[in-house]
Amino acid sequence: MANPSSKATVPGSRELQASSTSPGGAATSTKSDDGANPYEPQVMRFLKRVGMHDPNVENYSSRDFYSNLLCNTLKTHTVRRGHVTCFATVTPAVANYFGGLHGGAVAAIAERVAIATTRTVVGEDKEIFLVDLGMSYLSAAPKDVSSFGFLISHFWLNPKL
C-alpha cells in the first residue's frame, strides 16, 4: 500500500518525477524543470543503431516543430478554392521502423492539407480545426519516394460558425 503522504504524479508532469536514495543515505529527487528528457540520449542511440536517426532532429526540439517537420516534406502542386493538392517526400523524419511513411505522419499531413483546403474557403479570421479524420491504410510509401499525393477537396463546413 502506498504511503498516504507520498506524492503521486502523472507522467510528463512538472512535479516530482522520481525519488531515490544516494549512497550517503540522503534522498535525492529528479525534476524535469530544466526541460531535458532523461531518456533522450538512450533514444537517440537506439535510433542511430537502427538507422532511423535524422541528423536534423535538433531542429525539431522547439515547442512548435510540428509545422516545420511536416512542411519540409510537403510540396504544393495545386491550390484552388476548396481544392489543394500536395506531394510529400518520405524522409527519415517521417518514416517508420521499416523505412516507409509512418501512419501518424500520413494522418498529420492529411490534417495539414485539410486545414489548408479549408483556408481557401474560410478566411484567416475564423478559427478552424479538424473534428474527425478517417484513415484506411493499405501499405506504406517507401523511403525517398515523392510520387504520392494528397488531394483534399471535400469537407464539411458549418455555416453557423
Residues 6+ apart with CB under 8 A from 145: 89, 90
The CATH code for residues 40-152 is: 3.10.129.10
Domain boundaries, the chain: 40-152
pLDDT of 72 strictly over 70: yes
**pLDDT at position 20:** 40
Distances (CA, A) of 109 to 11, 58, 68, 72: 28, 21, 12, 11
Per-residue pLDDT band at 24 (split at 50, 70, 90): very low
pTM, two decimals, is 0.52
Whole-number Å distance between alpha carbons of 149 and 7: 49
Per-residue pLDDT band at 68 (split at 50, 70, 90): low
